[in-house]
Structures are given as C-alpha cells and as structure tokens.
A and B are shown apart, each in its own frame.
Chain A
Amino acid sequence: MFKKLLISMLFLVPFSVQSADIPITGNVQSRCVITTDTPGVYGNPNAYTLTTASADGGVQPIVRYDVTLANAYYAQITTPTSFAQSPSLSDTVTWTGSTEVSSISDATNMGSYETNKTTFGQTTQYDLTATGSTWFKSSSTATYGGNKAFPGGTYTANVEAICVAK
C-alpha cells in the first residue's frame, strides 16, 4: 500500500514542476540603433596616400541606422580629419571624405535621403523621416604633405556616427 502511494507521488511531482510558468517581459520603446556593419580598411595605392577606395585595395566603412520612430532622428556621419593612431608625422596630412546612402529598407519613404542630405565640412547629415534601416557608406582619403611617403607603422582613423533625437 505504502509503495503504491510512493510511486503515485513520484509521478505527480515531476508534472507539477513542468507546469511552472516562466514569464518573459518586454518593453518596446522608440529608438535609434547604430550598427557598425563594416569597419573600413585603408588601402595604400602609393607611398603618400591612404584611401578606403576599393580600387586601391581599401574597404569603405558602412554603418547602419535602425529607426523605429519616423521623423524623430538625424543621422550625422563625420569622416576622419586626423589619425586616431599613427607614427609620428612631421608634415601635414590632407583629408578628403564623403558619405552616401548605400542601401535602404524602404525605397518609397527613404528614396529621398541622399538628395536631401546636408553637408557641412566633413559631416553629412540625414533626416531620418521613415522607420526602417538605412546603410551609409563613407569614403576617406589621407594624403601626406608634399607627396612624401607615410612612415611605416599602424594608421587608424575614426569615422563618427551620431544619431540625434530631433
């Protein structure tokens, strides 16, 4: 009698554990997410130039903005104007750079982003008027003064991607 009772209890206990609920809670908020899709690489087509141009062995940095609220954010992307890391440089470096829309998730509502962009200095600003994802591609070229050769070493420059709430 006792054995039967024990066996029936053993059956009941595991079932009671399996029926426990584990709640998953979430909170949806409007947001702008910046994703570094492709970090860039400088190619070195000649001794005095570093460039992200693919024809010269470089890779253009690509950054993605995901926006879940329309007409609420600006994307500002600034191409480098100095090296974050480099060997000691005795001459000036001339910088050029630009940013353009590389891809969009909503052709209807984002199609005008590129034509409506504003540029000031090395910074390009886009008005993110639609929800969805936008990929921006930047190019950067550094030319060493007087066509001198860049000294050997590691060169790193910083592309700044900013998302500002309107």
Chain B
Amino acid sequence: MKKLYALILLLFSTSAFAHDMVPTYPELRPSYLDGVLVTDLELFNKRNDVEYYEIAVFDEYWNPVPFVTSYKILKLSYLDRIKFSVYIRSKDKDRATYICTKSRIRGESGPSTIISSMICSKLKKDY
C-alpha cells in the first residue's frame, strides 16, 4: 500500500505548476575563498507561469543574512533544472539558518489571485 502511495505521489509530483528545491538540509563547507563557506542547492521549475526565482538567506528570526551567488534572481524556464551555490561568510555561519527560493510572478490579466511559492531549506548546524 505504501509503495502504491509513493508511486501515486511520484506521478502527482510530475504535474505542472510546482516549485521544487533540494536538499532540505544543506550543509556548509569551506569554499576556495578564505573565510567563506559554500553550499549547493538544486532548483526545479515545474511552474509554467514562473520564469524567475529569487534567492534569499535568513536567520532564525527571518532577518536577511548577507550572501553571494552568481545571480540573486535565477531565470529558469519551465521544466528546467539548475544547480546553484550560495556563499556565506564564516562569521555569519551561526546566524544563517534558511536558504530560500521564491517565485517571481508576472502580472495577470483579469481579477485574480496569484500564488507565489517559497521553499526554504534549513542549514545543518553540525559543522
């Protein structure tokens, strides 16, 4: 029964309009720069109404934490997948808690609600 459910879940999760990011618990590791840590994440755009995703890093109280990526806003076509690295200063490693990607929505025509999605991974603290 569990296998059947997992299969159904897998099939459902391939439908359109979804925002998917892994890993759930990324780990910081030393980068090639002194005093800078890095972690890697992967984003998959299954939302055909979204082309751009914004990256943000927060502390546990949702205050922004400085970070560096190649692009803070990623252009990602429908069904495209992208791996990206987030660089955080060593001195911010205890503060940095969440790495999030948020969909950037285009305006719609007609009176409607639009759904923006944000997925936040939580940094492992056992380094």
Contact = CB atoms under 8 A, between A and B. Distances in A.
Contacts of B32: none
B84 interface: no
B116 A35 contact: no
A165 B18 contact: no
Q: Indicate the member of B8, B17, B107, B122 with the most A CB atoms within 10 Å.
A: B17
Interface residues of B, number: 36
Contacts of A42: 111-113
B63 interface: no
A52 interface: yes
A85 B107 contact: yes
A36 B112 CA distance: 14
A31 B13 CA distance: 11
A90 interface: no
Contacts, number: 135
A26 B25 CA distance: 19
A72 B114 contact: no
B111 A50 contact: yes
A91 interface: no
B61 interface: no
B23 A156 contact: no
A156 B114 contact: yes
B18 A156 contact: no
Interface in B57-116: 98, 105, 107-116
Q: Which of B9, B21, B113 has the most CB of A within 10 A?
A: B113
Interface of B: 5, 8-9, 12-13, 15, 17-25, 46-47, 49, 98, 105, 107-122
